[in-house]
Structure 1
Amino acid sequence: MSSPKPSYTFTIPCLHDDKPLDCRIYHPTALLADEKPRRWQKKAAVVAHPYAPMGGCYDDPVVLAVATELLNMDYVVGTFNFRGASNGKGRTSWTGRGEQEDFMSFVGLLVYYLDRLHTPTTELMSTLHSQGEVKSNFTLETALAMIPSNQAIATRLQETQSDPSVIVLAGYSYGSLILSQLPPMGVVLQRFSNAPPGSAASEILLRSHSLSSQTNQSLQGAVKLRGRQLKPSDALGQGHSRSHSIVYGGEETDPSLRRRSQESRRSGEIIRRSAELPLRLKAHMRRHSSNYSSSRRVIPQVDGSHNAEHMGIPLVQTCYILISPLLPPLANILVLPNRNPFSPSTPMTRPDTLLQNPTLVIWGSSDTFTSSRKLRAWADKMEERSISTFTTHEIEGAGHFWREKEMERELLTSIRTWLEQHVSRPSDARPR
């Protein structure tokens, strides 16, 4: 199986400490509707990689295989490197806090990127085809001009724009451990809804604006009717079947306006002060809280300007996929027990996001890092507490790395089957 080519390769700063994260976005064929005019549901997936000190990165074979399968299912797919992976900045933490923020940073970018994609041209052409309105030499401009006089077209376009986006959060091995620590999607997106100018969150939003603007411009320039078929442009760098890739470097924010995170340095300073001057620590926290809440928090725009209006959080239907999850004792070595949601000594509060949304947990019976017996016992407890669709699948004979004959294909087939059964279509999707 050949690896897909990314449409975009770029970096974003981490919300935690501004460490630059290497990121990729892949586009499915359906986004360009190059086969026939049809409606493309806004849906995207993130696939997180295994443990970086053991060679894990976004080039991991399992990560790429899952990404390719999701592309074949018409998902926009995003991958990123955790800190320290593949010669990236920083290093793997012992608490998982930095990696959790790495994950949240990329999720925020992908959600807002997907939310800003404008694909009504495909829906418009599809509607016109169904009504027999398409003639020879019929252009997109002609079609757009028909919207005011055609209520059916206007209604279909409005329905398309109001559909919740589908976001699949997937993690393999260590990636699933960090995924399980993420707060609910609403909490993640709240970090971006009122981003202070010059902050890491603001820079991430600006980068998502730039990328979605590039895609929208390419789509607008590419979608032309030739007979009864839409043809894509080579300019977009479609990741699934083309080799072209657009690389974004640097940052969107003017360096003079950039506000670097001082969280790491400040945390160490507060710890030292707390041992000597607890009263000064309390005063510092009160001042910090007051200053933060009173500062004017605004939303960055594509051109770098700012809008004081509150930005609504995108409607999102979220589901989770955990591949070869890690349980104690190994999980406690990679992430401290007090930060590890799977640790028996830790109240299982973080996994509530897995219980409240459609979740698939899949592993091999011959996994050498976590025994299938432990995984079955853990999965049974999770299923008992679940208020949504919590599905587990144990694949007989598969190991942790999915290298056994036909095991990778069975993994991908299981993921595809589950998504087709449990992820809502545009007509029945509801945000959670």
Structure 2
Amino acid sequence: MLPPPTLSFTIPSIHDNLVLQCRVYHPACLAPTTVTQAAEWRKRSAIVAHPYAPLGGCYDDPVVDKIASTILKEGFVVGTFNFRGAGTSKGRTSWRSKAEQDDYISFLGFLLFYLHHLRPPSIPEQNEHSNFNHSDPELHDLSPIPSQSVPASEFPTPTSGPQNPNTKPVLLLSGYSYGALITTLLPPIISSVIAPFQAPIRGSPHAEIRMRARFLADQQNELMNERFSSLLLRSPLSGRSTQLRDHTLTNSKIRQTDGGVRIGGEEDLRRSSHESPGSRSSFTLDSPVRKSVEKVRSIAKSGRLASRGKGSHESDASSHRTKGSVPEISPEHDSADDRETIKAIPDIAEGLQIAYLLVSPLQGWANTLATLSLWGSKPARATKRANDGGIMIPEHDMKLTIDPTLALFGDDDIFVSVNKLRAWAERLHDECKGRGQGQFRHKEVPRAGHFWHDREAVKVLREEVRLFASSL
């Protein structure tokens, strides 16, 4: 089961600026409560998309929870979000899924820039001569952020080094049911997805997403430095000259509750409160949420932090800061002449390994969605022919034969015939085999239905997801 989120916030959709609910969960290595959980983060992240909103799908779906919590335990930063029309995300589900694809890309853009700015502290090297060891009786549990206080037994026991030599950053794009369909329909080239975020006009949804990613990453950097410093100060290394990668905080008085940090909510700044009844484990900073949003937007307008006491708007945005709660955000432009756009980060996806996880994919719905329009539309293109049978493979499926992919489905799916799922999986497998390369793999789980109620099937689901995530 997922712990309370590290971050609960909103972003605008790049499709039409609608407000989307989002959550981010940090793994134990980024929020250790004991020394045994302290480990270097391997820059692995994942997104898990939920089922069809009109049928009750949202990021609180139990299958989404099972997938996301399993990936989280493998050391991934995990993000979930509500498509339009789900939960308290605005709007309604579209007919052709283009809007939902843009919703997914909006969160994908946020996560990439958030991870780019995230700077977890370095972990001191441990060896047989070090006094910093897991069995030292002087080491105590540390829980400065109760939302991350997860029993150590819930996480894998750290080893002396990574089991997988791969050190490339990883982004696992995943989804369940309708979420798997949207994941499949995403553009195959990540650079094309990121390109509109690189130099967005200030005030646009792309710029707003980037500003919020920077703001929240800087905030978490400050919190992580405080946590790691406190952990080290309680250890025998406190007398040594141990250095963290970033500055050490000593007097931070950040208030925390069981829900992690929440920012955003309704984008209407005239509202006095952005708390939504029924939102799970949300948290508002000491300064009202609207002040935080105003602060982010004032940065987008001015290109710099408003200084205290200079103008009513500036003082309003800055006077409510709590000590250590709002990290400063340096301008992302070169000069005063470049204030209309935000500076690009060319290496944002350098070396990034994309992988796909599809659980109960709605195979065959892609063409249906493409033609669901009052005026009609052409079906999705199929541009690649399988090597040994002359069967056309849809263009959007080809990426699944190139990047590491795992498809999981049951033999008792009520929405898609198991024969159709088998044929789809075999076509992709044959394409990989014909080319002599490719990493597509599928697993048909006995007694598993679309909703994964069978306990034995759920065990297989968790184990397959765990093995796939750990292999990346």
Both proteins in one fold, TM over 0.5: yes
Q: Distance in 1 between matches of 2:174 and 2:255?
A: 26
Partner SS state of residue 95, structure 2: coil
Is 1:215 paired with 2:220? yes
Q: How high is the TM-score relative to the length of structure 2?
A: 0.66
d(CA) in 1 for partners of 2:254, 2:4: 14
- Cross-structure match for 1:197: 202
5+ long unaligned stretches in structure 2: 139-165, 239-248, 268-292, 303-327, 373-377, 385-390
CA contact (8 A) 1:359 1:391 kept: yes
Q: Secondary structure at the match of 2:422?
A: helix
Q: 2:417 aligns with which of 347, 360, 371?
A: 371
CA distance, structure 2, for counterparts of residue 229 and residue 333 of structure 1: 62
Q: Would you say the 8 A contact 1:253–1:304 is kept in 2?
A: no
Q: Where does residue 349 of structure 2 map in the other structure?
A: 314
| Structure 1 residue ranges without an equivalent (≥5) | 138-161, 259-300, 424-432
Q: Compute the displacement of 1:227 (Å).
A: 2.4
Deviation at 1:87, TM superposition (A): 3.7
Report how many residues are paired. Answer: 346
What is the identity, as a one-letter code, of the residue corresponding to 1:321? L
Is the 1:9–1:25 Cα contact (8 Å) retained in structure 2?
Answer: yes
Match of residue 180 from structure 1: 184
Give the structure 2 partner of residue 24 of structure 1.
23
Secondary structure in 1 matching 2:94: coil
Distance 1:118 1:399, change over 3 A: same
Separation (CA, whole Å) in 1 of partners of 2:439 and 2:62: 28
* Offset at residue 402 of structure 1 (A): 0.1
| Contact 1:340-1:346 at 8 Å conserved across structures | no
By relative contact order (CA 8 Å, sep 6+), the higher-ranking structure is 1
SS across alignment from 1:171: strand
- Aligned counterparts, 1:5-404, within 5 A: 5-33=4-32, 34-36=34-36, 37-122=38-123, 125=124, 127=125, 132=130, 164-183=168-187, 184-224=189-229, 225=232, 226-227=234-235, 243-249=258-264, 250=267, 251=293, 252-254=296-298, 257=301, 302-303=329-330, 306-307=333-334, 310-312=344-346, 313-315=348-350, 316-328=352-364, 330-336=365-371, 338=378, 340=380, 348-386=394-432, 387-404=437-454
Distance in 1 between residues matched to 2:380 and 2:410, nearest whole Å? 22
Aligned to 1:406: 456
How far apart in 2 are the matches of 1:229 and 1:244?
A: 31
Q: Secondary structure at the match of 1:302?
A: coil
**TM-score, normalised relative to structure 1:** 0.72
Q: Does the 8 Å CA contact 2:42/2:169 hold for their aligned counterparts?
A: yes
What is the distance in 2 between the residues matched to 1:212 and 1:375? 40
What percentage of residue pairs aligned between the two structures are identical?
36
Give the letter for the 1:35 counterpart: V
Q: Distance in 1 between matches of 2:253 and 2:445?
A: 40
Q: In 2, Cα distance between the equivalents of 1:244 and 1:169? A: 25
Counterpart check, 1:418 vs 2:468: yes
More helix as a share of residues: 1
The alpha carbon displacement at 1:188 in A equals: 1.2
| Shift of residue 314, structure 1, vs aligned partner | 2.8
Change beyond 3 A, Cα 1:235–1:43: farther
Q: Which residue of 1 aligns with 2:273?
A: none
Once residues 129 and 120 of structure 1 are traced to their aligned partners in structure 2, the CA distance between those partners, rounded to angstroms, is: 19
Counterpart Cα distance in 1 of 2:31 and 2:80: 20
- Contact 1:112 1:314 (8 Å CA) reproduced: no
**Aligned-pair Cα RMSD in Å:** 3.3
SS of 2:66's equivalent in the other structure is helix
Contact 1:210 1:302 in 2 (8 A): yes
The alpha-carbon deviation at position 356 of structure 1 amounts to 1.6
Q: CA deviation at 1:40?
A: 1.7
Q: Is the 8 A contact 2:9 2:22 kept in 1?
A: yes
8 Å contact kept, 2:47–2:80: yes
